[in-house]
């Protein structure tokens, strides 16, 4: 997609990061900016799947990274020939199509079997050009139809690219070769486009708006190479540096979707029922149905406003939402680790903190050992000093913090606690942002 602005939340997306992206994208569409795409920075968790399905809102595209790839530069128009095409017809295509000096030769299935260039045609017929150099020289005298592409096409040493190849890798390959245009193939070897040297002259970074985070360490891969347009968030500012001034809106509220809803109001617009429903869901999720210390009066007022639009009781729906996604039996250990995991740098240490919210702890002891082992394996694979997973029981407002790493006792000390059986008991703790991250950051500073 060209000239698109992607709106995306953090990696290991939660309901707030996904729904704020969708809600903000819809607002921009309503205000005339139609070239925006709401994205998820990864697979949706069960809660977010439930929310989107409940309100009939389409699942957003998954944005794997923001690096520029071949598919971002390919034009819509491209031409191929078959082996039996006459050189005269091949030359005519090149002549009519500006800058197309290379033509892929394909079989009946569209798979590339060779390449012909304008230089190949010139060399093949250099000795046949007998008429004087004037525009009235008949083409049929120089390029008879009896001579086909097959007679001069290259079939060895062909250079082509895949749609998802990085442009940086493409540039290096082009320097080593002599063609003007290069075929782009799909995984079956079919030609799906062309990319030329001239396409690399006007490369511009992809445009992105970050929601529900403002640190590149939590952002989709390649965000630091993209053109950052704006940030809408409710977390501490994490030191993003930009080349140009950008729009930044960071407010101390419980959910990014509270801010997005205020943006609708400021524009004099009312979100549709589906959008209102997912915005409400995100507020209920991030504030743990208004129990979290991050919850503000504005969150509650905004939730009431949205609940009225979509015709639900906010608290009753919040309970239904958490129940739909809290069954441990339906989850794998890896999904629990990754579904709401964020990475932080604390005193030079890479620390991961995830959170799983449950409606009661039924079944947890059955998976504890396997889950703890999976947390440690993930920590090692990601090169983290510590990896902590908050198991939060929202029925009784408490969290068990499972800790793996070099010295788990140090994490316990951040809370003035001792570690018991690999975890720290944190009664009254519901918020990672306000009750876990600040304490650990201060301790490891």
For 49-65, what is each residue's pLDDT tens digit? 999 999 999 999 999 99
Only one residue has tokens 């991961």, namely 352
Mean pLDDT taken over the chain: 90
Q: How confident is the model at residue 340 (pLDDT cuts 50, 70, 90)?
A: confident
- Per residue in 360-412, pLDDT (tens digit) is 888 899 999 999 999 999 999 999 999 999 999 998 999 999 999 989 999 99
Domain 72-202 adopts which CATH fold? CBS-domain (3.10.580)
pLDDT for the residue 131:
47
Cβ-count burial of 368 within 10 angstroms (0-12 exposed, 13-18 middle, 19+ buried)?
A: middle
290 burial type by CB count under 10 A (0-12 exposed, 13-18 middle, 19+ buried)? middle
pLDDT single digits (tens) 36-47: 999 999 999 999
pLDDT (0 to 100) of residue 91: 84
Q: Which residue, 269, 272, 277, is CA-closest to 314?
A: 277
pLDDT for 82-104, tens place per residue?
999 988 888 888 877 655 678 99
CATH 3.10.310.20 fits 328-444, yes or no: yes
Give residues with Cβ within 8 angstroms of 104, minimum separation 6. Answer: 80, 81, 112, 114, 115, 160, 183, 191, 194
pLDDT of 312 strictly over 70? yes
| Of 222, 232, 225, nearest in space to 264 by CA | 232
Position 78 scores a pLDDT of 86
Tokens of 158: 């062909």
pLDDT in tens, 249-278: 999 999 999 999 999 999 999 999 999 999
Is the pLDDT at 130 greater than 50? The verdict is no
Partners of 184 in the β-ladder = 161, 193
- DSSP for 139-170, written as a single string: HHHHS-TTSBGGGT-B-SS---EETT-BHHHH
CA distances, 17 to each of 7, 92, 404, 439 (Å): 10, 52, 26, 24
Per-residue model confidence as pLDDT tens digits over 276-308: 999 999 999 999 999 999 999 999 999 999 999
Indicate the Cα dihedral angle 406, 342, 333, 22, nearest 10°.
Answer: 180
CA distance 385 to 40: 27
Same fold, 5-67+206-325 and 328-444: no
Domain ranges of the chain: 5-67+206-325, 72-202, 328-444
Architecture of domain 5-67+206-325: Alpha-Beta Complex (3.90)
In this prediction, residue 132 has a pLDDT band, given cuts at 50, 70 and 90, of: very low
Closest CA to 291 of 178, 398, 133: 398
Task: Give the highest mean pLDDT range of 132-141, 234-243, 430-439.
Answer: 430-439
């Amino acid at each position: 997609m060209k000239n698109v602005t992607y709106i995306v939340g953090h990696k290991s997306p939660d309901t707030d990061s996904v729904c704020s992206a969708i809600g903000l994208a819809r607002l921009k569409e309503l205000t005339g900016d139609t070239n925006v795409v709401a994205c998820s920075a990864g697979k949706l968790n069960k809660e977010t799947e439930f929310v989107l399905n409940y309100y009939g809102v389409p699942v957003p595209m998954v944005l794997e990274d923001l690096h520029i790839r071949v598919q971002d530069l390919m034009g819509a128009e491209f031409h191929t020939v078959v082996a039996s095409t006459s050189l005269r017809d091949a030359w005519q295509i090149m002549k009519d199509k500006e800058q197309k000096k290379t033509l892929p030769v394909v079989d009946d299935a569209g798979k590339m079997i060779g390449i012909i260039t304008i230089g190949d045609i010139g060399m093949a017929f250099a000795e046949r050009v007998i008429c004087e150099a004037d525009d009235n020289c008949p083409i049929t005298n120089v390029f008879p139809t009896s001579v086909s592409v097959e007679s001069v096409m290259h079939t060895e040493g062909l250079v082509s690219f895949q749609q998802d190849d990085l442009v940086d890798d493409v540039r290096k390959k082009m320097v080593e070769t002599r063609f003007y245009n290069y075929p782009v193939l799909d995984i079956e070897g079919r030609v799906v486009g062309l990319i030329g040297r001239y396409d690399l002259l006007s490369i511009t970074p992809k445009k992105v708006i970050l929601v529900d985070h403002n640190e590149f360490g939590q952002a989709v891969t390649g965000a630091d190479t993209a053109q950052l347009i704006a940030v809408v968030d409710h977390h501490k500012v994490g030191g993003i540096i930009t080349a140009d001034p950008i729009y930044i809106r960071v407010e101390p509220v419980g959910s990014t979707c509270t801010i997005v809803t205020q943006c609708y109001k400021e524009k004099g617009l009312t979100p549709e029922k589906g959008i209102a429903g997912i915005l409400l869901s995100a507020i209920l999720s991030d504030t743990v149905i208004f129990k979290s210390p991050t919850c503000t009066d504005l969150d509650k007022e905004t939730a009431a406003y949205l609940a009225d639009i979509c015709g639900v009781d906010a608290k009753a729906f919040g309970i239904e939402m958490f129940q739909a996604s809290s069954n441990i039996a339906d989850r794998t250990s890896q999904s629990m680790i990754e579904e709401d995991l964020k990475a932080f740098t604390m005193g030079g240490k890479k620390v991961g903190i995830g959170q799983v919210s449950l409606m009661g702890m039924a079944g947890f002891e059955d998976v504890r050992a396997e889950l703890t082992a999976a947390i440690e394996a993930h920590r090692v694979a990601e090169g983290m000093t510590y990896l902590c997973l908050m198991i939060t029981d929202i029925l009784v407002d408490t969290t068990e913090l499972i800790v793996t790493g070099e010295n788990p006792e140090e994490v316990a000390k951040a809370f003035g606690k001792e570690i018991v059986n690999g975890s720290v008991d944190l009664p009254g703790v519901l918020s990672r942002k306000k009750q876990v991250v600040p304490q650990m950051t201060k301790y490891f500073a």
